[in-house]
Amino acid sequence: MEESKFESEIKFPEQHEFGRKELDIAEIEMPGLMGIREEFGPKQVLKGAKISGSLHMTIQTGALIETLHALGAELRWASCNIYSTQDHAAAAIVKKQTSKVFAWKGETLEEYWNCTNKMLTWPDYPGPDILVDDGGDATLLIHEGVKAEHHFAKTGELPDPSKFDNLEFQQVMRIIKEGLQGGLTQKWTKMAANLKGVSEETTTGVHRLNQMSAKGELLVKCINVNDCVTKSKFDNVYGCRHSLPDGIMRATDVMIAGKQVVILGYGDVGKGCAAAMKACGARVVVTECDPICALQACMEGFDVKRLESVVSTADIFVTSTGNKGIIMAHHMAQMKNNAIVGNIGHFDNEIDMAGLEAYPGISRTEIKAQVDRYVFPDGHGVIILAQGRLLNLGCATGHPSFVMSCSFANQALAQIDLWENRDTNKYENGKVYKLPKELDEKVARLHLPALNAELTELSQEQADYIDVKVEGPFKHEEYRY
């Protein structure tokens, strides 16, 4: 792995020119981030802020990094997925020295958690002032580190990674154990105390934060970026609508039209996925546990079935629930030959990869990077995309720049808000907040000129009639878009 003088670890530094060309194109497609640079850059609103980021190291993330840098921040970055890094994007960022980067496509789990640790570790400083997180891995490492340090101080006992079945959590415990053995007995405690806030990108990450907050375990103040309308309804719906078929077709070249496609989960992500497959001519089936989402799927013309009813007939299966244990090894054993199985929901536990690997008599053939065929003892096989991780990032390039501009404009505004209010009482440790609707509408406004959209202006009488301000916000907090 290439270690540059600019304290980074990337794989192909020579790809920096390619990365810069794509970044230049992406910036034109990201009016939200460019608008934030134009408005806040001269003010250097993030000057002095040390920001760590655990978020897919893509071209679009590169535009976010360089926006935060343009606002005055110093950055360290790692990817939140072992397959999602675009190496040319990482090379471009390191070449320009806008952030330290510790990421490459195809990391092992050990390498991934080592990179996460390096991203969080600031030489001669307790740790990041603010954290951009995607899925909660970095937040988890900090909190587990604090717990282990407190336990070590009381008992002298080191964490034992072998006590845990989860392979990822074993790596978390390894990182913490190695730190304690090296004499870093207060590293995570000092880091948590220094951290001014976290802005979380994803549904699952926010769910984790809310659980920790409810239990009184959350040590920091957090902003829920995921539930901004211009994130959840754009990234999750429109982004997935674009990148799911892109990932499937790049991975397999399969004809989607006419195929039976099962979308497991009909939340925002599932809605985008189902719409995409329908537009490709597929016969779409949805699985759901939520009666409201199930009824929505029915009203859009989709069959709603249990997985068991279609497991032996469907051609393509896509998990999009944000839950765990959705497609198990015994389900895949019943699928037709060469059924395609992929995930676009939560990181890597929607599809039972451990059970598939351990299935008696199973054999695996790598077709190409992130595309594997697993053959069962009876001779039939299933094609697994991105080893059960996010197929749109593992097998393609993720969401397009325009929709990520919506998401990342929210991230940038959240980082600004956390930094500007680091010494105020606006946010409390242990609580999770949403950005105000004014900022949500601001993000939308930043993108409309690029689409030649014209907003109608309310008269004062009209605004009074629906109890809003002429300039907005135009919906009350309880409104569901």
Average pLDDT over residues 312-334: 97
Q: Which of 113, 84, 117 is nearest to 100 (CA)?
A: 117
Question: What SS3 class is residue 234?
Answer: helix
CA-CA-CA-CA dihedral for 51, 176, 427, 131, to nearest 10: 20
Average pLDDT over residues 303-318: 98
Residue with tokens 């000129």: 449
Question: What SS3 class is residue 451?
Answer: helix
Other Cβ atoms within 10 Å of 146 Cβ, number: 21
- Within 8 A by CB and 6+ apart from 400, the residues are 29, 239, 242, 243
Average pLDDT over residues 3-15: 86
Give the pLDDT confidence of 23-61 residue by residue, as tens digits: 999 999 999 999 999 999 999 999 999 999 999 999 999
Residue with tokens 């249990």: 306
Q: Identify the pLDDT of residue 2.
A: 57
Give the pLDDT confidence of 122-172 residue by residue, as tens digits: 999 999 999 999 999 999 999 999 999 999 999 999 999 999 999 999 999
How distant, in Å, are the alpha carbons of 22, 107, 386 from that of 59?
7, 18, 19
d(CA 79, CA 83): 9
Which value, in Å, is the radius of gyration of the alpha carbons in the chain?
23
Q: Identify the pLDDT of residue 5.
A: 66
- Within 8 A by CB and 6+ apart from 109, the residues are 82, 167, 168, 171
Question: H or E segment at 191?
Answer: helix 187-194
Question: Roughly how many angstroms between the first and final C-alpha of the chain, as a whole number?
Answer: 46
**Percentage of the chain modeled with pLDDT above 90:** 95
- Within 8 A by CB and 6+ apart from 452, the residues are none
**Is the CB of residue 173 less than 8 Å from the CB of residue 110?**
no
Confidence category of residue 478, pLDDT binned at 50, 70, 90? confident
* 480: region left, alpha or beta (phi > 0 left; psi from -120 to 50 alpha): beta
How does DSSP assign 101-130, residue by residue? EE--TT--HHHHHHHHHHHH--TTSSS-SE
Question: What SS3 class is residue 61?
Answer: helix
Catalytic residue positions, numbered: 56, 79, 84, 134, 201, 226, 231, 235-236, 240, 346, 399, 407, 411
Q: Identify the pLDDT of residue 63.
A: 98
**Is the CB of residue 234 less than 8 Å from the CB of residue 406?**
yes
**Is the CB of residue 159 less than 8 Å from the CB of residue 148?**
yes
Residue with tokens 């990674």: 161
Q: Is 292 exposed, middle or buried (0-12, 13-18, 19+ CB in 10 A)?
A: exposed
d(CA 416, CA 411): 9
Q: Identify the pLDDT of residue 352.
A: 97
d(CA 164, CA 105): 26
- Torsion over CA: 72, 78, 81, 82 (sign): positive
**Is the CB of residue 89 less than 8 Å from the CB of residue 61?**
yes
pLDDT at 347 over 80: no
**Is the CB of residue 129 less than 8 Å from the CB of residue 196?**
yes
Confidence category of residue 204, pLDDT binned at 50, 70, 90? confident
**Percentage of the chain modeled with pLDDT above 70:** 99
What is the value of pTM for the model shown? 0.92
Q: Which of 212, 237, 244, 417 is nearest to 340 (CA)?
A: 244
